[in-house]
Amino acid sequence: MKITFHGAARTVTGSQHLIEVNDQRLLLDCGLYQGSRKESFERNRNLPFDAASVDAMILSHAHIDHSGNIPNLVKSGFRGDVMCTFATRDLCSTMLLDSAHIQERDVEFVNKKRARKGEPPVEPIYNVEDAVRALDFFNAVGYHRQREVLPGIYATFLDAGHMLGSAIVVLDIEDRDANRDVRLVFSGDLGRKGIPIIRDPEYVDHADVLIMESTYGNRTHEPYFDSEKKLERIINETYKRGGAIIIPAFAVGRTQQLVYTLHKLMVARDIPRLPVYVDSPLAINTTSVFRLHPEAYDAEIREFMLSEGDPFGFDSLRYARSVEQSKELNFLREPFIVISASGMAEHGRILHHLRNRIGEPENTILIVGWQAPNTLGRRLVEGEKVVRIFGEEHKVRARVEVINGFSGHADRNELLEWAGAISKRPRRTFLVHGEEDSAFALRDALQEELSFEQVAVPELRQSFTV
């Protein structure tokens, strides 16, 4: 059996791992690589393998760095099944279309530049039609339901606790060349205990070969509960100042998590019932998908629903779909909360809210997710006093607050706890989905603290026979 790491190797994006066994090819994830525009475009457009020769695909979860290149895979000749959970399938139906729109818009921008230089236009990596077509190949299955994905390869999904529908993939493989059975476990992205809405990550008791994420292999988060307390304090303080709370948040997952948490805090009377606006069409579409998948909920939210009804709806909550609705928020003078995308404040409606509110000291800009270097979100976290929005300089007079504990990724201790539960230690372990520092730190900890043997941090395109 051979494994080749075609993405998320010594970086966090572009998850794609190809397994070749018994003359069959199975792809784990087909994510978009997200880096600089030019590099991303080249890498994502040119798949590193013959798409038509891939027999089946398994998708761990709907995030674009895992699912985003599936339309290109299908466009390039793939005709197998894309196996995933039901919630992942439905999330992809909105997220891949949104991604296709972004690809089309990106190319328009690139083509304007090319036209000025007299160069011919380029095609998008995929368009909306390709994304819709890709959905034909999805084949969903529930958690804990073993299914033969290819002859002699059986897949089972366990809860990964990372986002709605996220799965740990357990593959039981009859390796006919080596004449033995192999259990290959792919962690996908691992979540943490106590994240609202979704269940905690499940443990695996044995693995022969392990492919594991390492995003936070060298860092720890504050406990989830402390983050909720911090959110409560920030809202109450801003409310007393008569200010607005502007929250840049990813439309998928983080927004629903915040809405539900605010709902809980209001029911408990820990915060006032101030108006809350979710201002992002993708977030609105995604929230509808969340409502369709109570099978992926944890016990707490199920109980909450019994007494309070819709966890993602309450009297003072409004979803702003149209641009007009979004613009109306500019005129609000009383305290309110707006949750809007993009999560790193790079584009989207959040920029208008920031521009309007950043100059007033009574307001709060609340950062609730990891911010990549060179983004507006990161500049705010780093305390820059003047930032550029839509090309104009703005003094940062609003308060900037940061909550780190809402992360959907296990931290170092949680990764080690999860790996430590694998009582029959894997004979080979591969660490993916982490920058080098994180992956190497996790490798050392697995070997030194948990006696794992043969832990590798694969380089891009590196193959291993296992």
Residue ranges in contact with Zn ion by CB under 5 A = 63, 65, 189
The tokens for 206 are 């044995």
Least distance (Å) between residue 383 CB and Zn ion: 28
Least distance (Å) between residue 29 CB and Zn ion: 9
Q: Which is nearer to Zn ion, 65 or 81 (CB)?
A: 65
Task: Please report the DSSP string for 150-203 in residue order.
Answer: ETTEEEEEEE-SSSTT-EEEEEEEEETTTTEEEEEEE--S---TT-SSBPPPPP
Least distance (Å) between residue 344 CB and Zn ion: 15
The Cα–Cα gap between 167 and 59 comes to: 8
Residue with tokens 């784990």: 28
Least distance (Å) between residue 359 CB and Zn ion: 35
Q: What angle do CA 16, 73, 13 make, to 5 degrees?
A: 30
Least distance (Å) between residue 163 CB and Zn ion: 6
The Cα–Cα gap between 277 and 365 comes to: 15
Please, where are the H alpha helices in 76-170?
Answer: 86-116, 128-134
The Cα–Cα gap between 334 and 311 comes to: 25
Least distance (Å) between residue 30 CB and Zn ion: 13
Least distance (Å) between residue 316 CB and Zn ion: 31
Q: Which is nearer to Zn ion, 63 or 183 (CB)?
A: 63
CB atoms within 10 A of CB 282: 20
Give backbone dihedrals phi and psi of 137, rounded to 5 degrees, phi first.
-95, -5
Q: Which is nearer to Zn ion, 163 or 365 (CB)?
A: 163
DSSP code of residue 412 = H
Least distance (Å) between residue 389 CB and Zn ion: 28
Q: Which is nearer to Zn ion, 62 or 73 (CB)?
A: 62
Least distance (Å) between residue 162 CB and Zn ion: 6
The Cα–Cα gap between 47 and 220 comes to: 35
Q: Are 461 and 46 in contact (CB under 8 A)?
A: no
Residue 457: name the closest of 190, 170, 214 by CA. 214
Q: Which is nearer to Zn ion, 163 or 446 (CB)?
A: 163
Torsion, Cα of 39, 42, 74, 53 (10° steps): -110
Is the Cα dihedral 430, 419, 426, 141 positive or negative? negative
Q: Which is nearer to Zn ion, 80 or 165 (CB)?
A: 165
Q: Which is nearer to Zn ion, 95 or 365 (CB)?
A: 95
Q: Which is nearer to Zn ion, 286 or 363 (CB)?
A: 286
Least distance (Å) between residue 41 CB and Zn ion: 20
The Cα–Cα gap between 77 and 133 comes to: 12
DSSP code of residue 297 = B
The tokens for 52 are 């038509």
Q: Which is nearer to Zn ion, 217 or 243 (CB)?
A: 217
Q: Which is nearer to Zn ion, 189 or 414 (CB)?
A: 189
Residue with tokens 């995604």: 286
CB atoms within 10 A of CB 308: 15
The tokens for 221 are 């988060």
Q: What angle do CA 64, 67, 72 make, to 5 degrees?
A: 105
Least distance (Å) between residue 380 CB and Zn ion: 23
Q: Which is nearer to Zn ion, 72 or 356 (CB)?
A: 72
The Cα–Cα gap between 16 and 43 comes to: 12
Q: Are 423 and 392 in contact (CB under 8 A)?
A: no
Residue with tokens 């994510």: 31
Least distance (Å) between residue 189 CB and Zn ion: 4
Q: Which is nearer to Zn ion, 21 or 252 (CB)?
A: 252
3-state SS assignment for residue 460: coil
